[in-house]
Chains A and B, each alone.
Chain A
């Protein structure tokens, strides 16, 4: 009798296991075709990175990246589903098909270009090292022996690792909120991040006397598309080009960054 029960359980378990494996298979169909068929586009956006993507007290996502996502959806004539992501998981989400586009302060570099495709740039961005006024720092050599907080996997992580001397202690955190918490609580002396995040830190914590120290890289934001989705990529490029000529790109930059978009590179 127990043998029967055991056998049934084993069958059920195997079926469950095989069933769960088949659910996750991402077929490389044309994403643009699917989007137009389902009238829905899934766009990954940040929710921890003001003013590009953050939540207000009402927990509704807002920001430049969020506005860009909604704009693209409206131009395609479909509904948009905003998917919150962190720096660490935004590229895996694209690779596994959980998001059609990633609009999340995504910088372009050769390593990322191996695994995903990029559209034209849609907003300006630069990363630097920031720290208290009382600390003097004028060149990367000055980082020796200091603790710097950075978000793992972000462009500033790559750039900082390249220029920091061996004795600099780089502490990598999983997302921007943790990195900012570490800096604000004094667990790290310096923070390597983008200008908007730094400006937010300065505004909310004036007692820290944070100021800009070093430039890491000038890296405008691109939209990420899964590798091989050429139809979707060209369509989004079209939308960005139209938005540049009719002033929508500048409008977004002015609204969220208080500065014009300037000349942005093409993909």
Chain B
């Protein structure tokens, strides 16, 4: 049985693929930034926040971690308009991805925060640093360095999960693959090409995040 593959039919649609690549990267970058920001705040709440806030964050984290991402996405895109909130597919995707990432990252960062030696915090307090200063300058950098591999993995997972956002017509990579194969019926070639693009993207993103972490977030740490 011979199978003839025609990759040129897929590569000839490079504008659609390029748009898809752009949107995947855009969705990942924005949701990673937003998600990590929320996660850093929530991690503080879970370790040192007031009880009522801690309960809210705990419920939020458990709910998001224990429900499928596609359901969260569909709820935001198809469900919220019933409450009067209509978001574009791209905005709904970014929101869903950021919320999803923040829930998992809260737990990851909390693990790093709780691994901070007590002595560090006591020394900082004895130097009259304020609580926000202690959290952001003393606790966060070593904590982030400890959990950075896990955080990077989670970001890659969310980036690959953005493939689901094509279901609500966000024009990212998997949407591009589906569109191309629905036009020229080259399903095998379309998905191979897009899989390779995702693979390359994941490798590059991991390398970039590892560099960015040590350069901007926790550089100069020893051990």
A26 to B2, CA, bound (A): 11
Main secondary structure of the interface of A (DSSP, over half): mixed
B167, A153: Cβ atoms closer than 8 Å: no
The residues of B that contact A181 with a CB separation of less than 8 Å are 78
A186 partner, pick from B86, B166, B167, beta carbons under 8 A: B86
For the complex, is A91 an interface residue (Cβ under 8 Å from B)? yes
The residues of B that contact A88 with a CB separation of less than 8 Å are 178, 182
Nearest CB of chain A from residue B95's CB, rounded to whole Å: 14
| CB < 8 Å A-B pair total | 54
A28 to B79, CA, bound (A): 46
- Nearest to A116 among chain B residues (CB) is B185
- Nearest to A161 among chain B residues (CB) is B183
For the complex, is B112 an interface residue (Cβ under 8 Å from A)? no
A27, B1: Cβ atoms closer than 8 Å: yes
B169, A171: Cβ atoms closer than 8 Å: yes
B86, A187: Cβ atoms closer than 8 Å: yes
A6 to B125, CA, bound (A): 53
For the complex, is B38 an interface residue (Cβ under 8 Å from A)? no
For the complex, is A25 an interface residue (Cβ under 8 Å from B)? yes
- Nearest to A112 among chain B residues (CB) is B185
B185 partner, pick from A26, A91, A152, A171, beta carbons under 8 A: A91
Main secondary structure of the interface of B (DSSP, over half): helix
The residues of B that contact A95 with a CB separation of less than 8 Å are 185
For the complex, is B179 an interface residue (Cβ under 8 Å from A)? yes
B179, A152: Cβ atoms closer than 8 Å: yes
A91 to B152, CA, bound (A): 39
A149 to B169, CA, bound (A): 9
- Indicate whether A111 sits within 8 Å of B183 (C-beta atoms), given known contacts A186-B81, A187-B77: yes
The residues of A that contact B169 with a CB separation of less than 8 Å are 149, 171-173, 182
For the complex, is A260 an interface residue (Cβ under 8 Å from B)? no
A152, B182: Cβ atoms closer than 8 Å: yes
- Indicate whether A173 sits within 8 Å of B168 (C-beta atoms), given known contacts A185-B81, A186-B86: yes
Query: Which of A28, A149, A174 has the most C-beta atoms of chain B within 10 angstroms of its own C-beta?
Result: A174
For the complex, is B89 an interface residue (Cβ under 8 Å from A)? yes
For the complex, is B71 an interface residue (Cβ under 8 Å from A)? no
Interface size class of A (residues with CB under 8 A): 20 to 34
The residues of B that contact A92 with a CB separation of less than 8 Å are 185, 187
Nearest CB of chain A from residue B181's CB, rounded to whole Å: 8
The residues of B that contact A149 with a CB separation of less than 8 Å are 169
Nearest CB of chain A from residue B194's CB, rounded to whole Å: 15
- Indicate whether A171 sits within 8 Å of B179 (C-beta atoms), given known contacts A25-B1, A185-B78, A185-B81: no
Which residues of chain A in 125-180 are interfacial with respect to chain B, using CB atoms and an 8 Å cutoff?
Answer: 149, 152-153, 157, 171-174, 178
A112 to B183, CA, bound (A): 9
For the complex, is B67 an interface residue (Cβ under 8 Å from A)? no
For the complex, is B130 an interface residue (Cβ under 8 Å from A)? no
Query: Which of B82, B183, B185 has the most C-beta atoms of chain A within 10 angstroms of its own C-beta?
Result: B185
Which residues of chain A in 82-107 are interfacial with respect to chain B, using CB atoms and an 8 Å cutoff?
Answer: 88, 91-92, 95
A178 to B1, CA, bound (A): 37
For the complex, is B126 an interface residue (Cβ under 8 Å from A)? no
The residues of A that contact B166 with a CB separation of less than 8 Å are 174
A173 to B166, CA, bound (A): 8
27 pairs, A vs B, C-beta closer than 8 Å: A25-B1, A26-B1, A28-B1, A88-B182, A91-B185, A92-B185, A92-B187, A111-B184, A111-B185, A112-B185, A114-B185, A152-B178, A152-B179, A153-B182, A172-B179, A173-B167, A173-B168, A173-B169, A174-B178, A178-B168, A182-B78, A182-B168, A182-B169, A185-B79, A185-B86, A186-B86, A187-B78
| Chain B residues close to A by CB (< 8 Å) | 1, 77-79, 81-82, 86, 89, 166-169, 175, 178-179, 182-185, 187
Q: Which 10 A-B pairs have the closest CB atoms?
A: A153-B182, A185-B81, A171-B169, A115-B185, A181-B78, A186-B81, A185-B78, A152-B182, A92-B187, A174-B167
Given contacts A111-B185, A114-B185, A178-B168, 5 further A-B contacts (CB under 8 A): A26-B1, A92-B185, A153-B183, A171-B89, A185-B77
